[in-house]
Structure 1
Amino acid sequence: MGGTVSCCMSPRDTPKIHRREVELEDAPVTTTEEVDVSEDTGTYLQHISDRELPDELAQESNPSDHPRASTLFLNKSQTDVREKRKSHILNHTSPRMMTKKSSSCSTIFLDDSTVSQPNLKSTVKCVTLAVYYHIKNRDSSHTLDIFDEKKHPLTREKVPEDYATADPEHKLIYRFVRTLFSSAQLTAECAIVTLVYLERLLTYAEMDICPGNWKRIVLGAILLASKVWDDQAVWNVDYCQILKDITVEDMNEMERHFLELLQFNINVPASVYAKYYFDLRSLAEDNNLSFPLEPLSNKRAQKLEAISRLCEDKYKDMGRPCMRRSVSADNLLGVRKSHAVLS
C-alpha cells in the first residue's frame, strides 16, 4: 500500500446496523392465487436503495466516514474544556492570551503546521490527547480479547493488577506514541490517519478504548495507517524490534483482526482528513497546546509564495473540463511533496 488512499468499502455502509440475512425458506412466496402475475414476472426482490440507510443515520453512526459528523474525541473533551473555562473565569485568568504571540507591523508570526504538512510534534501531542479523552470519558469498558494487554502483553514485564482500571496520564500515552513515530520515522499525516482508524474501529466494533486495551488499539491503528499512507511502509517485524518482546505472529493477528473489524474500509476522504486536522487544532487551543510560532522571514515568505503558485496551478488543472480528476486525500495533500522539495 502506498501514499494513495484506496477505497475498499462504500462509506454508506454502516456496520453498526446489522442487516438480517434472509434464508431461502424465510423468503416470501407468491402464488397466482394471491396476485395476478404474468409469465415473465419473477419473485419480487427489494431494491438495493430500499435497504440502504439514510445519509443522516450513516453520518451519525460513522463520524470517521463523513465530513459533517462531529469527531468523537472533540465531543469527549467538551466536559473537561467547560470545567477549565469555568476555572479560568473564576480565577480571572486567560492563559491562552498570556502565552500567544501577537503579530505587529514589523513582525508576522506564523506556525509551521498546515493541513498539507502538519507539525509532527504538535500533531502527535494532539492525537495522544484525543486518545486520553477517549479513555478518561469513556461510556463503558467494552473490549475484545485481541486488544487485551493482559492476554496479549507487549512486554515481558508483569502487567499491573490495576491495568484495566487505572487511567493512563497524557504524558504516558504521548511517550508510547512518540517512541513508535520516532523509531519508525512516521509522518504527522500518519498520526491523523491513525486517529481516523481508531475512531472508526470504536464505531464499527461498538467497543471502547480503556486502560486495558489502549496500547494495542493505538499500535494496530498506527500499523495500518503507516501501511496505507506512507510510500515506504514499515514492516511488522520492524515494530517487533522497537517493542522488543512482541512477536511477528501477534502483530499479524492483530492487524488481521483490525482490518476485519473495519470491514476493510481503509478509505479516508480528503474532507474527513481535513475535519480531523482542524478539530485537532481546536482541541489544542482548548487545552492551551499552542503550535510553535516563528517570525516570518524573507526566505520563508518566498517558499510560501512558491507553494501558493503550485497549489493554484494544481487546482486550475483539476478544474479544466478536459481533465476530470477526483478529489481525494492524495490530490488535496499532494503538495506536501513539493513543500518538502522546497524546504
Structure 2
Amino acid sequence: MGNTVSCCVSPGGSPKITRQPDRIEDYQVNTDLSEDTGPYLQHISDREVPDDLALESNPSDHARPSTIFLSKSQTDVRDKRKSNHINHVSPGPLSKKYSSCSTIFIDDSTVSQPNLKSTIKCVTLAIYYHIKNRDSDRSLDIFDEKMHPLSREQVPDDYSRIDPEHKLIYRFVRTLFSAAQLTAECAIVTLVYLERLLTYAEMDICPCNWKRIVLGAILLASKVWDDQAVWNVDYCQILKDITVEDMNEMERHFLELLQFNINVPASVYAKYYFDLRSLADDNNLSFPLEPLSKERAQKLEAISRLCEDKYKDLSKAAIRRSFSADNLVGIRRSQAVIS
C-alpha cells in the first residue's frame, strides 16, 4: 500500500534517526548490533502490547473495539435527543430519502471508493468531537501552534482556550486535500493515524495543537496510501510560511510517537468507514442519494463480477505461492504401479 517504512530494532535501545529526510522511505535507522550474536531482528509481535490491553486501548490497531471519535460523539447525541424529548421539539420534516418497493436510493460512497466531500465532512466532525469532548489538555511542544506557527499571523493569546468550530476544521482539511489532490481513502487513514497518536502518546487534541496534529496525520497518510506521494516541500507551497525543516521535524516526531507502526489493516479501515457513516447519520450529514437506475444497476453488477474474478485469481495465486504440508491432505495422488 504505497510507500512503507522499513526499520530494524535492536533490543538494546531505540532507533536513532541519522538525518531529517523529506520522505518516509528516506528514513535510515541505525542500531548497535553485537558482533558476537549477529543481527537481531525483533518480530513486530514482540513489540505489541498484550491482546487484552490492545483491544481496550488501541482501536486503531484492532477491528473489535469501537472508535474513539464515535464514543466521544455519543454524549452530545444523547444530550440532544434528551433535550428534544423533554422540550417536545419536533424533528421537523424528514430530509432523508428512504427506499421503497418501486424506488431504491443509493449513494456513490462505498468502503472502497468513498465520496470525497462527505468523507472529509465526517472526518473533520470526528476531529471536532475529539477536541470538544477531550479529557484534558495534554500536548507536546512539537505540535504547539504557538511555538511552531503555521503562518506569520500572530497567534491570539487565547488560542489554547477557544475550541474551533467544525466549519474551521473542515475548511483547513479541505484546503489541504484540494491543493494536494488527496483521496477520500487518505482522509480515513488520516483519522486512524490521529487516534493512534492520541492512544500511543497518551495526549489530547486540543485548540493549541489540532492544526499541526492534523497536518502531520495528513502528511503521513498521503505518503503511505498514495503511490504518487506529496513531498514535504509541496506542503510548504500550500502553507506558505512553514519551512520544510519544520515539516521534517514534525514528521519524524509523529513517526516516533507511532512507534513506526503505519500499518492499517483492512478490517480497521472498514470499521472507521462505517463508524463515520454512523456519525453522519447521528448528525444529519446526509450522503448524496440518487434513485437506482437500470444503467447504474448494470454498472454495479459488472463491477461486482470484476472484483469477484480478481479476488479468485489472487486467492489461486496465493495458494500456489504458499503451498504447505497442511494442504497435502486433500490432494489426490496416483498410486505407483510396481511390476
Shorter-chain-normalised TM-score: which range?
0.7 to 0.9
Q: Which amino acid counterpart does residue 83 of structure 2 have in structure 1? A: S
Which of 147, 150, 153 does residue 149 from structure 2 map onto? 153
Structure 1 position 295, deviation (Å): 1.4
Q: Distance in 2 between matches of 1:308 and 1:212?
A: 46
Which of 187, 193, 200 does residue 196 from structure 2 map onto? 200
Which of 165, 179, 183 does residue 183 from structure 1 map onto? 179
Provide the residue aligned with 2:68 in structure 1.
72
Structure 1 position 89, deviation (Å): 2.7
- What SS does structure 2 have at the residue aligned with 1:322? helix
Structure 1 position 323, deviation (Å): 4.3
Q: Distance in 1 between matches of 2:218 and 2:307?
A: 29
Is contact 1:136-1:167 (8 Å) kept? yes
State the superposition RMSD in angstroms: 2.4
Task: Quickly say closer, same or farther: Cα 1:218–1:51, change in 2 above 3 A.
Answer: closer
Q: Distance in 1 between matches of 2:89 and 2:211?
A: 38
Provide the residue aligned with 2:281 in structure 1.
285
Q: TM-score, normalised by structure 1?
A: 0.78
Residue 154 of structure 2 is aligned to residue 124 of structure 1: no
Is contact 1:9-1:265 (8 Å) kept? no
Provide the residue aligned with 1:235 in structure 2.
231
Cα deviation, 1:280-326, whole Å, max 9, x if unaligned, reads 1111111111111011222222210111101221333344473468x
Q: Distance in 1 between matches of 2:224 and 2:146?
A: 29
Which of 105, 109, 113 does residue 105 from structure 2 map onto? 109
Provide the residue aligned with 1:245 in structure 2.
241
Task: Quickly say closer, same or farther: Cα 1:7–1:158, change in 2 above 3 A.
Answer: closer
Structure 1 position 215, deviation (Å): 0.1
Which of 73, 90, 93 does residue 93 from structure 1 map onto? 90
Residue 234 of structure 2 is aligned to residue 216 of structure 1: no
Is contact 1:8-1:266 (8 Å) kept? no
- What SS does structure 2 have at the residue aligned with 1:294? strand
Is contact 2:3-2:223 (8 Å) kept? no
Residue 322 of structure 2 is aligned to residue 322 of structure 1: no
Provide the residue aligned with 1:28 in structure 2.
none
Q: Distance in 2 between matches of 1:238 and 1:221?
A: 16
Q: Distance in 2 between matches of 1:247 and 1:87?
A: 48
Ranges in structure 2 where 5+ consecutive residues have no aligned partner = 14-42, 323-339
Residue 308 of structure 2 is aligned to residue 312 of structure 1: yes
Q: Which structure is richer in relative contact order (CA contacts within 8 A, separation 6 or more)?
A: 1
Is contact 1:163-1:211 (8 Å) kept? yes
Q: TM-score, normalised by structure 2?
A: 0.79
Which range is displaced more, 235-244 or 315-324?
315-324
Structure 1 position 254, deviation (Å): 0.6
Cα deviation, 1:74-121, whole Å, max 9, x if unaligned, reads 1111110101221333335335x7011122343221011100000000
Q: Distance in 1 between matches of 2:69 and 2:238?
A: 28
Structure 1 position 7, deviation (Å): 7.4
Structure 1 position 4, deviation (Å): 3.9
Provide the residue aligned with 2:264 in structure 1.
268
Which of 164, 169, 192 does residue 173 from structure 1 map onto? 169
Cα deviation, 1:145-195, whole Å, max 9, x if unaligned, reads 000000000010000111001000000000000000011110000000000
- What SS does structure 1 have at the residue aligned with 2:54? helix
Q: Which amino acid counterpart does residue 205 of structure 1 have in structure 2? A: A
Structure 1 position 5, deviation (Å): 7.0
Which range is displaced more, 216-225 or 106-115?
106-115
Is contact 1:317-1:323 (8 Å) kept? no
Task: Quickly say closer, same or farther: Cα 1:323–1:279, change in 2 above 3 A.
Answer: farther
- Percent identity, aligned pairs only, is 80
Task: Quickly say closer, same or farther: Cα 1:53–1:156, change in 2 above 3 A.
Answer: closer
Ranges in structure 1 where 5+ consecutive residues have no aligned partner = 11-18, 22-47, 326-343
Q: Which amino acid counterpart does residue 152 of structure 1 have in structure 2? A: H
